[in-house]
Amino acid sequence: MNRRLFLRKSSTGLLAAGMLGRLSLTESGTLQPAPGTTFIANYDTESPSCLEHLESIVNVHLKHGMPATFFIVSDILNDASKQRVVRLLDNPLFEIGSHSKSHQLILPHPLNPRTGNPREQLIDSKKRLEDIFGKPMTGYATPYAYVDGFKGHKDILEIVQEAGYKYITTICWGPGFSLPAPITDPFTYAADGFPELWEIPKHGWHENVLKGHTNVDSVALLNWPSPWPDGAIPKGPIKKPEEEFVVNKVFLDLAVREKKKHLTLAWHPWSIGRFDPKMKALDMTFAYVKKQGIKSGTFEGLYRELVS
Ligand SMILES: [Zn+2]
């Protein structure tokens, strides 16, 4: 790669924003991200237990040079923990986003009908995280997520816009609150009057459900006949990290085969750490992403690519 071009592109922040991976030279001589699916590792960091596993997760990312977005519940950071968390995550590989103030829902959900104050959850959490990390943030991941996200909820989207979010991730369920969630491409909320606000959906399983860590008796869960390829739906909760890697691989391969814009799975440090404290599934998944030449990045990096 031409070093001068490489540096020029770096200084625009593309690489710093996490769009690591293949770059190609266009006819006009500018560097463009290569077409293809971007894999995004993301973590809904939502409890003190999540913080206990953060260092092990960060270490696997550093080993592979793998970017990640950490969506954090701002109330879980206290005076005792926040400096350690900032030290761990203050790295150009990582993006910080909000996962609400106290994990209260914005809209009712079949697994939890109680909602909180949307201004607190959206606006206050962003301000507090920006204060703690000393930088602006662009994204919000809603607790639980929905089939259609915040579509049709203009009152909520107004608050999202007032908070200054550029993208939200509020979709991670299939029809009728089934799982796995379809591999939906990003879109804007133009139909609701917010053409500059992006939805970047999450996909596949909530890994805590795949492992039987969370009770989901109040939803139907599976869609039948299954639209998914073999291996996407194990016979029951998985027991070993190797099984998790096999499921992750099914979704990665499908996203690449169907030329999806991105693939991002719903991961939670508390559940990953309880199941696989040595982070073997992450290690195998990241090695596979690299081996297959799949691009990797952050939500923010993908957002910048979408608006460029
Ligand atoms: Zn959550």
Per-residue pLDDT of 93-105, as tens digits, reads 999 999 999 999 9
What would the mean pLDDT of 48-56 be, rounded to a whole number? 98
Residue 167 and residue 126 in contact, taking contact as beta carbons nearer than 8 Å: no
Q: Does the structural domain 38-307 have CATH classification 3.20.20.370?
A: yes
Domain spans in the chain, listed from the N-terminal domain onward: 38-307
How far apart, in whole angstroms, are the C-alpha atoms of residue 117 and residue 76?
17
Examine the pLDDT at 258 and tell me if it is beyond 80. Answer: yes
Q: Which two tokens stand for residue 8?
A: 């020029």
What's the 268 CA to ligand 1 centre distance in angstroms?
Answer: 8
Name the band, by pLDDT with cuts 50, 70 and 90, for residue 7: very low
User: Ligand 1 centroid vs 112 CA: distance in angstroms?
Assistant: 12
pLDDT by residue (tens digit) across 215-242? 998 888 898 999 999 999 999 999 999 9
CA of 124 to the centre of ligand 1 (A): 17
Q: How much distance in Å is there from the Cα of 24 to the middle of ligand 1? A: 36
Query: Is residue 34 very low, low, confident or very high in pLDDT (cuts 50, 70, 90)?
Result: low
Distance 206 CA to ligand 1 centre (A): 10
Q: How far is the CA of 256 from the centre of ligand 1 (A)?
A: 27
Q: What percent of the chain has pLDDT over 70?
A: 89
**In the predicted model, what is the mean pLDDT of residues 293-308?**
97
Cα(113) to ligand 1 centroid in Å equals 15
Q: Where are the beta strands (DSSP E) in the chain?
A: 23-25, 31-33, 38-39, 41-45, 68-72, 94-98, 139-146, 167-171, 187-189, 194-199, 203-206, 262-263, 265-266, 295-296
How far apart are the CA of 81 and the centre of ligand 1, in A? 19
- Between the CA of residue 145 and those of 10, 108, 150, 198, 240, what are the distances in Å? 34, 10, 9, 15, 26
pLDDT of res. 28: 52
Pick the residue with more confidence: 218 or 124?
124
Q: Taking the model in full, what pTM does it have?
A: 0.90
Distance 246 CA to ligand 1 centre (A): 24
Distance 231 CA to ligand 1 centre (A): 26
Cα 144 to middle of ligand 1, angstroms: 6
